[in-house]
Copies of this chain bind each other. A is one copy, B any other.
Amino acid sequence: MNTSERTRNRSSAQSETDCAACPSNRRCWGEALPAETVHARREPPLERGARLLEQGSSAALYIVSSGCLVLRVSQPDGAQRVVGLRLPGELVGLESYAHGKQMYTAQAASPSTVCRLHLPALGEGATRGGLLERLLLKSAAQPDRASAPWAGLPAVERVAAFIENYSQRAHLPAREDPFKLPLTRADIGSYLGLAPETVVRALGHLSQAQRLAVRGRTVRLGGPTR
């Protein structure tokens, strides 16, 4: 339903708001966000397990405001693989504007909220900039851009790198704070290319080596080194 797209029906649109007025805009866009730069529409909250995007569906772009989304692709053989995570401030669905349709399914791994970004006719005419510019920055900063940094590492190191990476992307108050991984061991394994059991054992090793403390899905980085 993009009948009235050119007209800026800002008042008539439901919750189309200026990101500058959003209390959590720093999480999304960084320091200061000038007014009238980015507009977004807050979507209804997603409960755990809810799907935001279906692989193959039409192009749409979201920015994660809170929670965590898991990106999955279903492979020719029917298996599903986790190909990425999206944490607050990260984009979901950008690829769809290059490929015409969504490249993955996005599912909430924990209760999440997202805002939909409306791209001004991406693919043709001119634009005012601002938004595009920021998107470009975002896109460039997007995780898993340069191929898996953990490729070739032993399982224990892969898991360690994953958790380290997660904890840096999650906006934690302090590095020592415990946090909760919203993924199952199976999902972590799928993402890292490891069997779930291997993830369990790797966590065990890391725990024993004092490199982190694990209790269920709660993790705390720790240890003398690093």
Contacts and interface: CB of A to CB of B under 8 A. Distances in A.
Interface of A: 71, 73, 81, 83-84, 94-99, 103-104, 122-123, 126-130, 132-133, 135-142, 144-149, 151-153, 190-194
B81 A152 contact: yes
Contacts of A132: 127, 129, 132-133, 136
Contact of A98 (B84, B129, B141): B141
Copies in the complex: 2
Given A81-B152, A83-B147, A94-B139, 16 more contacts: A83-B146, A83-B149, A95-B141, A95-B145, A99-B140, A99-B141, A126-B129, A126-B130, A127-B133, A128-B129, A132-B136, A136-B136, A139-B139, A148-B148, A151-B151, A152-B190
B128 A126 contact: yes
B141 A142 contact: no
Contacts of A98: 137-138, 140-141
B193 A146 contact: no
A79 to B, nearest CB: 9
